[in-house]
Amino acid sequence: MAETYDLLITNGTCVLPWGQEQTNVGVRNGKIVALGAQGSAAEVIDARGLHVLPGLIDPHVHLRDPGDATVESIPTGTKGALLGGLACVFDMPNTTPSLIDEKMLTWKQDYVEKVAWCDMGLYVGAARSNIPALGGLECGCGVCGIKVFAGSSTGDLMIEDDESLEKVMRSGRRRISYHSEDEYRLQARKGMFKEGDPYSNHMMWRDEEAAFLGTRRLMALARKTGRPAHILHVSTAQEFDYLKDYRDLVTAEVLVNHLTQFAPDVYERLGGFAVMNPPIRGKEHMEAAWRAVNDGLVDTIGSDHAPHSREAKMRPWPTCASGLTGVQTLVPIMLNHVNNGRLSLSRMVDLMCGGPARVYGAIGKGRLAAGYDADFTLVDMKRQRRIEESWIVSPCGWTPFAGMDITGWPVGVIIRGKRVMADDAVIGEPSGKLVKFR
């Protein structure tokens, strides 16, 4: 007896947990119900010539909301995510005000489900004032985890000393995500530089040892407390080598920038539009990041989308703002790396879907299999395009990848069985939901 589906995706090459197969996918009530599906459907999408991926996730974005909507917001940032082929993003807590308490969490939970175009997870920031409450806050609806700024932040969100870091680790039990740079070393080295120095001095000030020392300290405390850790934006060869001995406790993220751009070239071309934390480093560190990707040491890839106005990026170093845009360009650039032979498409899907779901405990996300959310990213692996700033929807209006020629492009996004992006256009109204986490 023929089945009836809400949605049937036919003739596509599906990237499944066990490999790639040309098969049909049947969807009912927002869930995948069958692979190899046969029957009729209210909507049929012919994916002939396309690859059907599980809905891709960017687990590291700063959508600046609440904050300055002339730079970014949840409506504009999630629209950019859809256009870039993402079905879900996890948003950082260093907004204005920061997301560090129940009141702000409740407001943001409600706001997301009114204005977001894609699904979202929310980080809660660890602050000195909320350490006793972290165990409860990490269990809030839509909370992907706790974020600790052990370096490179301001005010109450900075937790740089071992005593306070240990207290954070002993409050709650879920995996904690860390910005790992040693604040003491950063402050000690700050006086070595002056305003107007070359932008490339950013990687001299925030040197390899600042990152490596921060990670060594965090791993010692994680071992002491038994609290699992996720080190965000690992950027040095030293850290990658060191973390191999802590895989029982640690997972690791690498950024698309650290896989794509390198010094001194990037600073000579882009000036302040290359400045981010931790910094883009020499080519040897980029190659170490790729070895870690292909050795299986890296669990997730993110954009660290952190927009600022053009004016803030054009200031002299070090007063120029740190942070780069990336939520809309992450998927195209990674598809280009696949076509260039840097990694397989299956490995990319693991890093950008299965990996985030495993690390953060996302329920119903992460794979193309029966019972999971009907989230899909459709990509044309042969489509060639150039990244242009006119395509960027973030109000700041710029990308550090402008002019980059790409082979491989996202052409559609489906979330919970509903088509929400097709051929460079978002469809319908915002329908994003908070992700559920274990």
375 and 233 belong to one structural domain: no
Q: What is the pLDDT of residue 318?
A: 97
pLDDT tens-digit series, residues 223-270: 999 999 999 999 999 999 999 999 999 999 999 999 999 999 999 999
Residue with tokens 């740190």: 322
Q: Which of 337, 360, 383 is the last residue of a domain?
A: 360
pLDDT tens-digit series, residues 314-370: 999 999 999 999 999 999 999 999 999 999 999 999 999 999 999 999 999 999 999
Number of structural domains found in the chain: 2
Whether residue 326 lies inside any domain: the answer is: yes
User: How many residues in the chain?
Assistant: 438
185 and 296 belong to one structural domain: yes
pLDDT tens-digit series, residues 272-323: 999 999 999 999 999 999 999 999 999 999 999 999 999 999 999 999 999 9
115 and 137 belong to one structural domain: yes
376 and 231 belong to one structural domain: no
353 and 377 belong to one structural domain: no
Question: For residue 217, what are the domain limits?
Answer: 56-360
283 and 385 belong to one structural domain: no
Q: Enter the tokens of residue 194.
A: 């002056």
15 and 146 belong to one structural domain: no
pLDDT tens-digit series, residues 153-187: 766 799 999 999 999 999 999 999 999 999 999 99
103 and 246 belong to one structural domain: yes
280 and 395 belong to one structural domain: no
**CATH of residue 345:** 3.20.20.140
User: For the whole prediction, is pTM greater than 0.85?
Assistant: yes
122 and 173 belong to one structural domain: yes
Q: Which of 336, 360, 384 is the last residue of a domain?
A: 360
Those residues with Cβ within 8 angstroms of residue 23's Cβ, 6 or more apart along the chain or in another chain: 12, 14, 35, 36
